[in-house]
Structure 1
Amino acid sequence: MFSLKIKRLDHIVVTVADLQRAVRFYHEVFDLPVLEDQSDEFVTTLRCGHQLLKLQLATRNTPLKAKEPTSASADFCLVTGDKLDDVKNHLKSYFVEIIAGPVEKIGANGKMTSLYVNDPDGNLIEIAVY
């Protein structure tokens, strides 16, 4: 019997209302590099470690998207190698409100401590330290 062997997530697509505002936020606050060769007026791709984060406008006209793409509906976790106090100070310097945390959680690699913020569209971002 065949068994599908999924290895990892390659990318995630987050729907946003204002692409330029979202790109600026993820690039400046999280220092994610923009991949210019994979960007257009409806989608911008950023590198996030070994994965990609694609930001797309809800108005993107393509059959290859979620049935009802909506901004403010994503909820995902970014893992950092920085100390949590440094993360807090960095977020504060960009006037990013911490809406919860630190919170002890269990992630893919075990126990972690997380902070929660929203991006400008209201998507929930968990920032975790193992």
Structure 2
Amino acid sequence: MNIKSLDHLVITTHNLEACLYFYVDILGMEMDTGNNRYAVRFGNQKFNIHTKPAEFLPAAAYPTEGSLDLCLVVADDLELVKADVEAAGYPIELGIVNRNGALGPMRSLYLRDPDGNLIELCNYMTVL
């Protein structure tokens, strides 16, 4: 078997409106309401948004809100991303800090979505 890429993952939320605001308005993802479901898309990937555990079956054994720790690669300079997040009035958890990712050294900025999931935004453009 040769895994090629990530297609989608599922986020369980207790507040759909706040969740969509974070991923669409703060992170700039595109909302998708096709198939009578909520999802957000970016690049060739998507996050399906579930409003209750095991909303669609089969599902993870223990779906719960706030248990994810995700790292998303951004194309923009991280200083600009940080400025945009601050201008939107959204709290920053930590950053900008140097980290090591799947492709080597990177810079990261950490946020929490409304459910408490840790969202790391990184880029490999300028590591100090």
Could you state the TM-score of these two structures normalised by the residue count of structure 1?
Answer: 0.87
Q: Which runs of 5+ in 2 are unaligned?
A: none
Tell me the distance in 1 between the aligned counterparts of 2:5 and 2:92: 29
The CA deviation at 1:83 is 1.1
Tell me the distance in 2 between the aligned counterparts of 1:94 and 1:28: 9
Contact 1:38/1:45 (<8 A) preserved: no
Structure 1 vs Structure 2 CA RMSD: 1.4
Task: State the aligned residue count.
Answer: 124
Distance 1:52 1:82, change over 3 A: same
Matched, 1:115 2:106: no
Tell me the distance in 1 between the aligned counterparts of 2:2 and 2:87: 42
Which letter does structure 1 place at the counterpart of 2:86?
Answer: K
Q: 1:102 aligns with which of 96, 105, 122?
A: 96
Cα deviation code 1:36-87 (max 9, x no counterpart): 21443xxx11112111111112245433111121101011011111111111
Tell me the distance in 2 between the aligned counterparts of 1:21 and 1:63: 24
Could you state the TM-score of these two structures normalised by the residue count of structure 2?
Answer: 0.88
Contact 1:39/1:45 (<8 A) preserved: no
Tell me the distance in 2 between the aligned counterparts of 1:47 and 1:84: 21
Aligned-residue identity in percent: 35
Which letter does structure 2 place at the counterpart of 1:85?
Answer: E
Tell me the distance in 1 between the aligned counterparts of 2:106 and 2:56: 38
4+ residue stretches of structure 1 with deviation over 6 A?
Answer: none
Q: Which runs of 5+ in 1 are unaligned?
A: none
